[in-house]
C-alpha cells in the first residue's frame, strides 16, 4: 500500500486522537478548577492554589503537545510551537499585587471610620444633645475620641460611644442600651429615663450603705468583733463600690465587704447577696471562722507545730531512743522562748528545741537554756555538707 493511500487513514486517526486528548484535557482542567474552588479560603491562598493548578494544567498540555508533535512527525509535518507562560505570569503578577488588594480594603475601612466619626462628633456637638445634657445636669467625661462618660454629681450614669458596628450607642450603667444614627426623640427619651433610673439607683445605693453602717454599729456585733480582736473600717468609696473591711489586732485586713455600685448588691468575700439579713448571717459566720492570729502568733505556732510533728516521725523517735532520749510533750516557757526538752531516761534535760517568741525561729539550746545555734543555720550547714 503506497503512502497516498495511507494519508486518509492517518488523518482520521489523528483526528480521533486529538478528540480523545481534548476530552481528557477538559476533564483534567475541570477537576483542577473544582479543586481550586474548594480549597481557597483567603485571597492569597486562592491565588496560590490557582498558580499550582495552572502549573498542573501546563504540565498536561505540554505532554499533549509532545504527543501531537509525535503525530505530526508521522504525517511529515513540522513540529508545532506552543507557549504556556502567559497565565503563569498573570498569576505571579496577582500575587505581587496582593498588597494593593489589601490596600483597597484599608482605604475603604479608613473612609468608613472617618464617616462614622463625623456622624459621632455631629451627635456629640448637636444643639439638641447639648441642651438636654445641660438640662439634666450631666457633664461629659472623655474616655477616648469615640467614647464619653455621662457624669452627674460625680457618679457615672452612662456612656455615649461608637460601637463595633459603627453605630452611635447610648448605654446606662444599669445595662440598658440604645443604638441610633443621630440625635432624635428616642435619644431624648432614653437619656431622660436613664437620669430617672440612675438617680433612683444611687439613692438605693446610699440607703444600703447607711443600713450596712448601722449594722456594724450594733452593740452585740461590736462585742462579738471585740472578742475576736477585730475592728471594722467603713465606708471607703471607690469608683465601683463602697467598701469596708475587718482589721486584726496587728492591722492586717482579714475580711473585705462592700456594696457594689453597679449591681446594688452586698458583697462579702466575693459572695453577692441582695438583703442585709443574709449579709449579716454570712458576716457572723465568717467572723467565727476567721484566723485572727497576729502574724507574730502565726510564726510562733508554725515553729511549735514543726517540733510537735516530730512526735509523728517514727524514724526520729527511734533515733532518740537509740540515744537514750525523749522529747517532752508539753512546752515550758519564759519571757523569750517556748522550750521542748530533750530528756534522758532519768529525766535529766540535756538540751532543747526552743521557739523564739518574737519571730518564731527555732533554736538549739544547751541544758542551761543558752542558745547554741539556730535551726536555720543547722539546716544551712547540712546543705553545705551535701554539696561538698
148-187 pLDDT tens trace: 999 999 999 999 999 988 899 999 998 899 999 889 999 9
Query: Percent of the chain at pLDDT above 70?
Result: 73
| 161's grid cell | 460611644
Question: Which of 63-67, 143-147, 152-156, 354-358 shows the lowest mean pLDDT across its residues?
Answer: 63-67
Between residues 98 and 60, the one the model is more confident about = 98
Q: 384 pLDDT exceeds 60?
A: no
Distance of CA 18 to the CA centre of its chain: 65
Confidence at residue 99, expressed as pLDDT on a 0 to 100 scale: 85
pLDDT at residue 75, rounded to an integer: 45
Type and span of the H or E element at 237? strand 231-237
- Closest by CA to 141, choosing from 159, 122, 121, 166, is 159
Q: What is the tens place of the pLDDT at every residue in 272-299?
A: 999 999 999 999 999 999 998 888 888 9
Predicted local distance difference test score (pLDDT) of residue 50: 55
Please tell me the predicted confidence (pLDDT) of residue 283.
96
Consecutive H or E run containing 279: helix 276-289
**136, 195 Cβ separation under 8 angstroms:** yes
Percent of the chain residues past pLDDT 90, beyond the cut: 61
pLDDT for 39 beyond 80: no
Q: Is the dihedral of CA 347, 348, 352, 358 positive or negative?
A: positive
Query: Does the pLDDT value for residue 15 go beyond 90?
Result: no
Cα–Cα distance, 187 to 204 (Å, whole number):
25
Q: Quick one: average pLDDT of 136-150? A: 95
Residue 29 has pLDDT above 50, yes or no: no
pLDDT higher than 60, residue 228? yes
**Grid coordinates of 99:** 498588597
Tell me the average pLDDT across 375-384: 71
Q: Express each pLDDT in 303-322 by its tens digit.
A: 999 999 998 999 999 999 99
The Cα–Cα gap between 140 and 239 comes to 16
Cell numbers 495552572 correspond to what residue?
Answer: 54
pLDDT over 50 at 41, yes or no: no
pLDDT of 58 reads 56
Q: So where are the chain's domains? A: 3-96, 112-203, 217-289, 296-387
Confidence of residue 26 (pLDDT cuts 50, 70, 90): very low
Q: Is the Cβ–Cβ distance between 248 and 294 less than 8 Å?
A: yes
Q: How confident is the model at residue 40 (pLDDT cuts 50, 70, 90)?
A: very low
DSSP conformation class of 2: -
Query: Is the distance from CB of 371 to CB of 364 less than 8 angstroms?
Result: yes
What is the maximum span of the chain, computed from C-alpha positions, in angstroms?
A: 136
Quote the mean pLDDT of the chain.
Answer: 83
Does residue 340 surpass a pLDDT of 60? yes
Q: Region 114-137: what's the mean pLDDT?
A: 93
Whole-number pLDDT of residue 248: 92
pLDDT attached to residue 270: 86
Amino acid at each position: 500500500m503506497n503512502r497516498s493511500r495511507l494519508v486518509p487513514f492517518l488523518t482520521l486517526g489523528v483526528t480521533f486522537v486529538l478528540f480523545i486528548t481534548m476530552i481528557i484535557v477538559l476533564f483534567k482542567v475541570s477537576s483542577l478548577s473544582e479543586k481550586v474552588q474548594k480549597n481557597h479560603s483567603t485571597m492569597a491562598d486562592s491565588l496560590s492554589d490557582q498558580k499550582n493548578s495552572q502549573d498542573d494544567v501546563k504540565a498536561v498540555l505540554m505532554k499533549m503537545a509532545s504527543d501531537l508533535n509525535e503525530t505530526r512527525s508521522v504525517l511529515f509535518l513540522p513540529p508545532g510551537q506552543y507557549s504556556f507562560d502567559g497565565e503563569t505570569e498573570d498569576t505571579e503578577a496577582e500575587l505581587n499585587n496582593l498588597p494593593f488588594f489589601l490596600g483597597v480594603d484599608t482605604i475603604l475601612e479608613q473612609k468608613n471610620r472617618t464617616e462614622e466619626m463625623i456622624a459621632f462628633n455631629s451627635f456629640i456637638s448637636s444643639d439638641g444633645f447639648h441642651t438636654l445634657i445641660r438640662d439634666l445636669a450631666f457633664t461629659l467625661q472623655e474616655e477616648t475620641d469615640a467614647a464619653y462618660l455621662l457624669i452627674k454629681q460625680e457618679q457615672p450614669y452612662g456612656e455615649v460611644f461608637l460601637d463595633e458596628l459603627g453605630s452611635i450607642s447610648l448605654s446606662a450603667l444599669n445595662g440598658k442600651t440604645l443604638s441610633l444614627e443621630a440625635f432624635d426623640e428616642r435619644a431624648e427619651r432614653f437619656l431622660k429615663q436613664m437620669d430617672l433610673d440612675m438617680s433612683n439607683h444611687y439613692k438605693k445605693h446610699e440607703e444600703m450603705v447607711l443600713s450596712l453602717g448601722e449594722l456594724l454599729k450594733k452593740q452585740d456585733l461590736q462585742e462579738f468583733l471585740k472578742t475576736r480582736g477585730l475592728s471594722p473600717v467603713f465606708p471607703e468609696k471607690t469608683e465601683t463600690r463602697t467598701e469596708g473591711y475587718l482589721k486584726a489586732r496587728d492591722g492586717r485586713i482579714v475580711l473585705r465587704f462592700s456594696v457594689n455600685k453597679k449591681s446594688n448588691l452586698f458583697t462579702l468575700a466575693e459572695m453577692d447577696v441582695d438583703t442585709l439579713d443574709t449579709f449579716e448571717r454570712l458576716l457572723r459566720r465568717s467572723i467565727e471562722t476567721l484566723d485572727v492570729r497576729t502574724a507574730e502568733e502565726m510564726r510562733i505556732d508554725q515553729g511549735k507545730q514543726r517540733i510537735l510533728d516530730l512526735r509523728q516521725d517514727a524514724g526520729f523517735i527511734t533515733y532518740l531512743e537509740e540515744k537514750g532520749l525523749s522529747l517532752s510533750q508539753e512546752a515550758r516557757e519564759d519571757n523569750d522562748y517556748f522550750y521542748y526538752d530533750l530528756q534522758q531516761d532519768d529525766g535529766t534535760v540535756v538540751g532543747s528545741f526552743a521557739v523564739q517568741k518574737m519571730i518564731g525561729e527555732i533554736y538549739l539550746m544547751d541544758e542551761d537554756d543558752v542558745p547554741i545555734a539556730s535551726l536555720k543555720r543547722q539546716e544551712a550547714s547540712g546543705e553545705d555538707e551535701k554539696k561538698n
